[in-house]
Amino acid sequence: MSSYINKEIKPFNAKAYQAGDFFDVSDADLKGKWSVVFFYPADFTFVCPTELGDLADNYEEFKKLGVEIYSVSTDTHFTHKAWHDSSETIGKIQFPMIGDPTGTITRNFDVMIEEEGIAERGTFVIDPEGKIQIVEINAGGIGRDAQDLLRKIKAAQYVAAHPGEVCPAKWQEGEATLAPSLDLVGKI
């Protein structure tokens, strides 16, 4: 996988399910705000509902940061609705659930497992210009953590708003940042 950092997302058009409605979504909808594109292997599975439930439990925090979450699997938008209606955990989801049955979006982000027709556990944070700022891909059996994703988004937003500053490891909102310079070389 070549680096996706600072690359603009590729065009796509898809159908999504959200809060009882089906609607069209495209790459244009991700621009103008911070977005998370959260790929997962399949509806009605095991690790996936724990991750999506964690995002749902933290969705208000993402919204406070001006971030929209888009979950994506190669299931259809109809399957997303059926899962939403039948699972207590998935029923909490208020963010868009994009159906990608053709695999176009999944391939655009290079997270398609071709022999299975499903997505890797890929997380992509996209800035308001439509450029990818964070990429994380986990093996199928390893779930992701919404709190850590929030921390990374806060760091990405801070760096975007404060050119010349960077966030060190484990940085939390309000903590000191670094201003890279010759004075810091060998002192950290």
- Catalytic one of 9, 14, 48, 155: 48
Give the whole-angstrom CA distance, residue 101 versus residue 48. Answer: 17
Q: Which amino acid is at 37?
A: V
Q: Compute the distance between CA of residue 137 and CA of residue 100 in angstroms, rounded to an integer.
A: 18
Does residue 159 contact residue 166 with C-beta atoms inside 8 Å?
Answer: yes
Q: What is the DSSP string of 87-103?
A: -TTGGG--S-EEE-TT-
Question: Is 48 noted as a catalytic residue in this protein?
Answer: yes
CA distances to 112, 113, 166 from 106, rounded to whole Å, are: 5, 9, 31
**What residues are annotated to the active site?**
48
